[in-house]
C-alpha cells in the first residue's frame, strides 16, 4: 500500500526546498501525481527516484545525465552508471587525499615556525625553488594581499593562504642597501610547477616576530654579517611570510623570514 507525501512534507523529509522538487518536475525527472484537490502528491515509489537524484548529484552528475539514466535504465545502463559512479568516487578520493596532505603540511608549517630561531643570522644552502611570480611592486599590505590572491589563482585546488610559508616578496636589493628596506619589486608563491625559479645557492637568513617595519633593523644585520664573513650580497633579497595576518591577527604571533643570497667576495688575483 502506497503512502503519499505532499510536496512540503517531502521537501522537509529530504531537507530540500519545494522549488527544487518543482524544478525536477519541470525536467520530467520526478513527476508527482495530482490529488483530487489538485495538490501534488508523491508516492513511496518516488522516494527511490529522489534518492537516485540526490546520490548522483552528490557525485557531480548533471541533471541531463540523471534524466537519461532514469528514463532509459536497464541492466546495461545501470552497470555503466555504477562504473561512472566508481570513477567519480575515485576522483573525489584523490582530491580529498590531496587536500588532506595539504592541510597536514600547513599544520606542520605553523608548528615549524614556532621552532625557528629569532633574531639570529644563520647561513644556509638552498636549492633552486620553482615559483609563481607577479612582477609588480606594492607599498601597502592591502596591495600585497590582492597580489597574493592573484597568485593563489594559479592553482586553486593546491594553493592556499592560511598556514602557507611558501609565499613572500622580492625586496629591491639596491634600495635596501641605500636604507629603504620596504621597497618591493614582486610577490611569489613557491610551487613545484611554477613557471619561474628562485636560483639556489648560499643564503643568509634571519627571522623575527611582529610587523615588517622590523626590516629596517634586520636587513642591515644581514649586510653586516655578510661583510664580516667575507661575503657579498648578490641577491635576491626575499621576505617570506611563515605566519602572517591570514593565520593570526596578532602581530606578536606573526613571523617573517628574510633571506639574502650571498657569494664570496673575489680575492686579489
pLDDT attached to residue 161: 44
Q: What is the CATH number of the domain that holds 13?
A: 1.10.1660.10
Residues 65 and 144 in one domain: no
State which H helix or E strand residue 55 sits in: helix 44-58
Return the C-alpha cell found at 13.
523529509
Residue 68, domain member (yes or no) = yes
**Do 59 and 89 touch, CB atoms closer than 8 A?**
yes
For residue 153, being part of any structural domain is answered with yes
**Which residue bears the cell 639574502?**
260
Which residue among 73, 108, 124 closes a domain?
A: 73
Average pLDDT estimate for 13-25 = 92
Whether residues 236 and 162 share a domain: the answer is: yes
Beta bridge partners of 233: 262
Question: Are 249 and 141 part of one and the same domain?
Answer: yes
Residues 123 and 255 in one domain: yes
pLDDT the model gives residue 35: 85
Confirm whether 98 is domain-assigned: no
Are 266 and 140 spatial neighbours (Cβ–Cβ below 8 Å)?
Answer: no
- Which of 113, 147, 153 lies closest to 244 in space, CA to CA? 113
Mean pLDDT in residue range 174-189 = 95
* Distance in angstroms (rounded) separating the CA atoms of residues 63 and 24: 9
Tell me which residue range forms the domain holding 192.
Answer: 116-264
120 secondary structure, DSSP code: -
Give every CB contact of residue 239 below 8 A, 6+ residues apart in sequence. Answer: 168, 169, 171, 184, 212, 215, 256, 257, 258
Q: How far is CA 120 from CA 36, 117, 225, in A?
A: 84, 6, 10
Is pTM beyond 0.75? Reply is no
d(CA 140, CA 182): 10
- Same domain for 67 and 10, yes or no, is yes
Is residue 218 in some structural domain?
yes
Asked if residue 233 lies in contact with residue 181, where contact means CB atoms within 8 angstroms, the answer is no
The rounded percent of the chain whose pLDDT value lies above 90 is: 46
Q: Which range scores top for mean pLDDT: 127-131, 142-146, 154-158?
A: 127-131
Same domain, 135 and 195: yes
Residues 164, 32, single domain; the answer is no
Amino acid at each position: 500500500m502506497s503512502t503519499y507525501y505532499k510536496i512540503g512534507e517531502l521537501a522537509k523529509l529530504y531537507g530540500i526546498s519545494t522549488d527544487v522538487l518543482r524544478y525536477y518536475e519541470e525536467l520530467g525527472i520526478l513527476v508527482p501525481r495530482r490529488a483530487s484537490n489538485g495538490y501534488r502528491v508523491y508516492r513511496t515509489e518516488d522516494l527511490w527516484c529522489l534518492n537516485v537524484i540526490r546520490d548522483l548529484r552528490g557525485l557531480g552528475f548533471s541533471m541531463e545525465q540523471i534524466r537519461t539514466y532514469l528514463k532509459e535504465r536497464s541492466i546495461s545502463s545501470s552497470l555503466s552508471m555504477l562504473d561512472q559512479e566508481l570513477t567519480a568516487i575515485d576522483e573525489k578520493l584523490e582530491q580529498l587525499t590531496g587536500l588532506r596532505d595539504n592541510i597536514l603540511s600547513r599544520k606542520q608549517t605553523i608548528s615549524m615556525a614556532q621552532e625557528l630561531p629569532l633574531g639570529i643570522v644563520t647561513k644556509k644552502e638552498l636549492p633552486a625553488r620553482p615559483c609563481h611570480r607577479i612582477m609588480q611592486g606594492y607599498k601597502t599590505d592591502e596591495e600585497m594581499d590582492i597580489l597574493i590572491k592573484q597568485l593563489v589563482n594559479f592553482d586553486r585546488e593546491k594553493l592556499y593562504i592560511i598556514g602557507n610559508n611558501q609565499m613572500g616578496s622580492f625586496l629591491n636589493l639596491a634600495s635596501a642597501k641605500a636604507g629603504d628596506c620596504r621597497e618591493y619589486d614582486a610577490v611569489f608563491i613557491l610551487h613545484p610547477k611554477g613557471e619561474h625559479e628562485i636560483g639556489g645557492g648560499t643564503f643568509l637568513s634571519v627571522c623575527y616576530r611582529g610587523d615588517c617595519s622590523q626590516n629596517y633593523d634586520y636587513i642591515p644585520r644581514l649586510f653586516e654579517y655578510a661583510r664580516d664573513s667575507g661575503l657579498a650580497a648578490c641577491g635576491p633579497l626575499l621576505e617570506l611570510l611563515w605566519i602572517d595576518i591570514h593565520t593570526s591577527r596578532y602581530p606578536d604571533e606573526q613571523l617573517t623570514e628574510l633571506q639574502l643570497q650571498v657569494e664570496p667576495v673575489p680575492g686579489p688575483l
